[in-house]
Structure 1
């Protein structure tokens, strides 16, 4: 197991290094940069031109690619993520101010997603072609078919029509900057249930289908019949053997859960006006704010690599055959 972990960690470092180079190159592919756009908008005024020149020298924007990359990655290693030219604040400060909110919303959504998807998938596989299975199948297809933004808009519309409440944000204006209390917690629940439901719905439908399909395949294998012959109770048999193996594809999807803390809720965050990094990433890409966009995308790549590593470790613990791969 130790050899397996060391090999995965070594691979993570190499992949992250290569990813950072490719990412930095892609961000610089569009013609020009934010400073050029700023000068064009201000028609090259003296103060703006002088400020832009100072920023170019400070962040080596007038240097070759390799010099810029080494300066960028060296700063990240030291904890300096750069400076947002558009928002005029350090990137680390901007990301830190929104990351906590994103972790809270997405974390609850992931718990809801897995908490419902796994039991429903097990039930649908065990009660194959029953009324419950057909019902969950239809709901699953609807969850996959309806786009998140459309579901969000529908929830906002019907909530406003039925209750008069306009959903948006995570807190009421008077409690947005207040310290956490019971009143703020209840206000958060009143606002956050809709985006959490929308984020969880699409992923839940996918997990239900995967769990159902894999468990159906496992229940048809000879070892299940042999376990029944030994006298094991039905639910104990199902939970101890087939479910454990059927969970492997779901565990492997953990690698995509962590980066979703930033990326998956971009459209939902825009619809519900959530203070998460998603809209900030979209805005940075559109404005060519290279250091902010680069830091967010690199963070997503890092979370993907870490999530894949975590899923590999869990898979190796659940299924010893993985260690031989």
Structure 2
């Protein structure tokens, strides 16, 4: 069996900054790798997540010039956890502003989970700007995916944790958790807001791990992370990610000419393989790798192996 690839040493950014994208928002960004090498952009998950040092290591830094940034309201971007002027369409426009800032004509588009949603939406809006598309944990923002996460699906795998998730809601709101959480997360009671944010973020932390991980749960339980993740993710899901039902599959013909790779965990409880499989049926040219011992996180050995083999391949390095 071929040895699995692991992260490249995470390089320090050679440049960082804040970009004013209008509407009162400024985005934190960093560039790593080799200036003038093959361009790539990293679209993080959530919505409401951010970037980390480890994520920089998914590319060979000698062969790539990578831009990583934190989306509106996320991480070091300001204003923190803001829902105003924060939609998928705003983020697509932001990516174009960042591309122009970097001076790239085209770049590799790389995203996992919500980042896969945004990668597809951006590439379909601007197919002339994507040299390749690398996706992990496909999420379309369609109704069956919300039902899986917040009604019946993941709740069947983690019934104990789902009970904890619902426990912070009034009983009459538990049939529609997205709406019930919205009322609390946008309310005035700061204690209840933090309690709800931690419950939302913990549910996320549970479903993204293949095996129990106290480190992952601790990350999601951090108040700063939990508030941004819960508020922004709930905001997007309440508005169906600002996409029409079935939109990303319906528009896949716009990107079929672009080389692509999908890395999907067989046992992903957050974004199950159904969506990746449907995308492959609509986009026969894409390479679909279903990792037999994989869940959702990029850092799992089989998932990481597939991602790094993809970035190495597109940089001209043998797999």
TM > 0.5 between the two?
Answer: no
Report which of the two has the higher share of helix: 1
Q: Normalising by structure 2, what TM-score?
A: 0.21
Q: Using CA pairs below 8 Å that are at least 6 residues apart, which structure has the higher relative contact order?
A: 1
Which has the higher Rg, Structure 1 or Structure 2?
1
Report which of the two has the higher share of strand: 2
